[in-house]
Amino acid sequence: MPKLIWEKKLQEAVKRQQRFGWSVRDKRGKVLVQRYYPDINKKVSATIPILWEPNQELNVLNALQKINEVMQNSGCSLKEAVDILYANNNYKININWNKLVDDFKKYKNISKSSWEGNYSYFLKDIVAMMGSSNEPKTGKAILEKLVRNKDKGAGRKRIISNAKTFLEFIVFKKGLDERYAPPADIVIKELKGGKSKKSFKKERLKDEEILFLLDDLPKTDTGKKWKFVISICFVFGLRAVELNHMKPKEDQLHISYKKVSANGNTDKRDIDGLSPAAAPELATQLLMELKTKSTELPESVGKGKNDSEVGRAMVQYLKRNSKFWNKLKEQYAEEGAVIGSYSLRHAFAYRGVFLYEMNPDDLAAQLGHDLQTHLKNYRNFHDEKGRRERFKKSKQKMLLNAKSIDV
């Protein structure tokens, strides 16, 4: 069938604008875009949701220009560029934000709990705002809208930092227009805001506080189960999620959980228990209970259970069943600190430094993170230990000098 006049004009216009390698033709009433690569003698194609009919020349040329820009900027394929630019199969260029979020999730390659805790919640807001009638037109406007009416503090800073990473990804990895790039660092700093009056720091619990807390739990079957797993986190320094991935291995606790993060993956590990001074046999006792299964795990804990819910379930149980826990929360809050399931892990780290005198490398391996992450979180423990030892040596030297003078 011979080409119609408007078809010839459209194809000639494509050749003029895109030059060699690009072409369009009809495919079931829609525009099929083709890209030919002579160096490898390969042709790729993708259908765009523009009708193959007269008076579509401007729409087609605009579409090809945008598709080419995305491909050039990101290095993605023709099909990927079309998928990004056309959401809901609409003939107008309409960025597919859901696909960008899915691609970003694959790029981050982190655990489900880390994704939900750090990215998922605000990315849903971005998708919603970009589908509204008054969508933000720039990366800066997206960030401003994200944190509007949000108090200054750690939560706001985390949203801005993580959203900035997402915007960098969609512009520099996926080829979106540079107007979506995050603003300059000085603007990012302003968007993060200063310190909130309610800015809290995470705090460890003291060993004696945890032991008192364990004794304070209800003496019911459920209370005994929670006492058991809280004790395990306390003595073995577990993340709450790792309760779902533990089993005894001789005189150690084997953790099969692999924490996936942007900084790298944490491998499986075997942990030596660090019992507190007031209960030196606690680690051995807990391992024996695990081996014999003499104490059951709480309903929300164990193999196959929801990883993201374990820590929340633990804190919820303590809040509802321990007056001492709630009293501790109030006391620490007055000092500008918060406590949670990680406070048990921090106690393990502190005990490892001061009671067991472990070096940073060994303690980092026990906790299941790299040395850089360990020092970022616990350098103050090791620094304090060093200061104490230096002071002790100085004091001993002073006493020796004093004795020699007396003689």
Give the residue-averaged pLDDT of 181-198: 79
Q: What whole-number distance in Å separates Cα of residue 179 and Cα of residue 170?
A: 11
SS3 of 317, please? helix
pLDDT at residue 191 tops 60: yes
* Burial class of 245 by CB neighbour count within 10 A (0 to 12, 13 to 18, 19+): middle
Q: Of the candidates 262, 271, 206, 201, which has an alpha carbon nearest to the alpha carbon of residue 236? A: 271
Summarised one tens digit per residue, pLDDT across range 239-284 is: 999 999 999 999 999 999 887 665 556 789 999 999 999 999 999 9
SS3 of 5, please? helix
Q: What whole-number distance in Å separates Cα of residue 110 and Cα of residue 108?
A: 6
* Burial class of 202 by CB neighbour count within 10 A (0 to 12, 13 to 18, 19+): middle
List, in sequence order, the alpha helices (H) in 205-322: 207-216, 221-236, 282-292, 310-321
Phi and psi of 14, rounded to 5°?
-65, -45
Summarised one tens digit per residue, pLDDT across range 300-325 is: 898 777 777 898 899 999 999 999 99
Q: What angle do CA 84, 155, 347 make, to 5 degrees?
A: 120
Token representation of residue 256: 């099969």
Q: What is the DSSP letter of 21?
A: T
Query: Where is 30: in which H helix or E strand?
Result: strand 30-37
